[in-house]
Amino acid sequence: MSVVPLPELDKLAHSLAQERHDTFSERALGRAYEEYLARRRTPLAPTRTKADGREFSSFYDLVADLKAGAETMEVRLDPPPPPGAAWEFLRPFERILFAADGSAEVYPIGGGAPTRVIARFLLREHYLLRTQAEEDQAAGGGRRISLPTTIRSWHDGIVACRTLGLIPFSVAMVIYYPDERISYELDLVRGLLQADVRAGRLAPPRRVHRTSRLSWKVDRVIGRGDMPLLAARALTVLVESQGLTALEMAHVFGGVRETVDSALQGLAAQGFATYDRRTGTYRPRLDAFAPPVLVADGSPAPSTGGSNPALRTSVQELIAAADARASCPLCGDPLPPGNHGILCARCAAEVNAG
């Protein structure tokens, strides 16, 4: 395992931000770097990065080369672990080829035709350059640097690094397959694909497979960038379950129970989860990720789930499943979210024209 040293990241920050990366910024980058290295995750496989046909020693090497446009990006496992327990909660792959338009092709281990998917990226741990003056201004209630954590493509991510002085330490490659969404986390500092945080800590049957459509709605909320990292991670795990306690969540994330419980309480306060005091269980509120149904006067329709959190979750799951499976009876294409007609727009236009 090769770790990108701090001087290399410091040099990259100077080249991106020049005099704005002052002594204060250098110390802040050093602290963020050391804190990140202290938090270890289970590695799955080493990775290699290739952009526009050229191989780079690291992601940072690619960002530093201003001539590299990265219209296409390849992340390859070298070597990939065989299918089995190592891939718990994930789908095995050998390499993923990303395009600038946000699509990607996932190549299976051992060869075979790739699967075409939609790819997005979520920033995980990172350092965003800020001067002493900007830090003081933000601490005093002034303007903060806004950084949405959703990145549409690798190309967009590289542009963000170069223009904002962004140094990512880890990033989640969010892959939307036809039937589900899988998140692969990359440790960019060590050049590793990380195992899923639930692997070996949560029984696989506890996971609920959500549709790509619902998962995209969850990721869109997380991608606003206004949610602490632990809360964002907890929300993703919680949504892919029937409900978990703070103790179970603490076991998944390996942290102090009070810290995890605080993150879960924050999710409940924002309306993304409910809390059952009798069992100590937090359950996801799936309706929080979809626009409310309106009645004739434009006001939100009353909830049909009642006051029982478990019952409300079950009703929401049925609605989400029905919405995800809605398709046009003529052509079979999936209907878009919120569609109230029977036919898709294309078939409806053809029927009206006839």
First to last CA, the chain: 64
The pLDDT-based confidence of 305 (bands split at 50, 70, 90) is very low
Domain end (from 177, 196, 215): 196
Per-residue model confidence as pLDDT tens digits over 231-266? 999 999 999 999 999 999 999 998 788 999 999 999
DSSP 182-217: EEEEEETTTTEEEPPTTTTTS-GGG--PPPHHHHHH
Judge if 64 and 183 occupy the same domain. yes
- The per-residue pLDDT for range 43-57, each reduced to its tens digit, is 999 999 999 889 999
- The single-letter DSSP state of residue 242 is S
| pLDDT of 319 higher than 80 | no
Name the band, by pLDDT with cuts 50, 70 and 90, for residue 139.
Answer: low
Six-digit token pair at 62?
């690619």
pLDDT of residue 339: 63
Count the domains in the chain: 2
C-alpha–C-alpha distance, residues 9 and 277, integer Å: 47
Identify the weakest region by mean pLDDT among 190-194, 261-265, 332-336.
332-336
Considering the chain, what is the average pLDDT of its residues?
84
| 225 within a domain of the structure (yes/no) | yes
Domain co-membership, 113 together with 80: yes
Residue 132 pLDDT class (50, 70, 90 cuts) = confident
In a domain, 289, yes or no: yes
Q: CA dist 214 to 175, 221, 224, Å?
A: 13, 11, 16
Same-domain check for residues 146 and 237 = no
Q: Which helix (H) or strand (E) holds 128?
A: strand 126-128
143 and 6 inside one domain? yes
Which of these three, 140, 163, 196, is where a domain ends? 196
Domain at 236, CATH number = 1.10.10.10
> Is 342 contained in some domain?
no
Residues 124 and 9 in one domain: yes
In a domain, 4, yes or no: yes
pLDDT of residue 306: 47
Residues 101 and 10 reside in one and the same domain? yes
Tokens of 76: 């390859």
Lowest mean pLDDT among 109-118, 136-145, 174-183: 136-145
Residue 303 C-alpha from the chain's centroid: 29
**Claim to verify: residue 189 and residue 223 sit in the same structural domain:** no
- Structure token digits, residue 307: 């006051």
Of 234 and 316, the one with more pLDDT: 234
The reply to whether 47 and 89 lie within a common domain is: yes
Q: Is residue 338 part of a domain?
A: no
pLDDT band at 188 (very low <50, low <70, confident <90, very high): very high
Q: Specify whether 66 is located in the same domain as 101.
A: yes
pLDDT band at 146 (very low <50, low <70, confident <90, very high): low
Query: Are 230 and 172 found together in one domain?
Result: no
For residue 317, pLDDT beyond 60: no
Paired residues of 193 in beta bridges: 45, 186
Assess if residue 166 is contained within a domain: yes
**Lowest mean pLDDT, pick from 176-185, 190-199, 283-292, 300-309:** 300-309
d(CA 59, CA 64): 9
Domain's final residue, options 162, 196, 230: 196
- 350 part of a folded domain: no
Instruction: Sort 290 into a burial class: Cβ within 10 Å, 0-12 / 13-18 / 19+.
Output: middle
Question: Is the full-model pTM beyond 0.75?
Answer: yes
State the residue range of the domain holding 243: 207-326
Indicate if 167 and 31 belong to the same structural domain.
yes
Asked if residue 337 is part of any domain, the answer here is: no
One domain for residues 98 and 137: yes
Question: Largest alpha-carbon pair distance within the chain?
Answer: 71
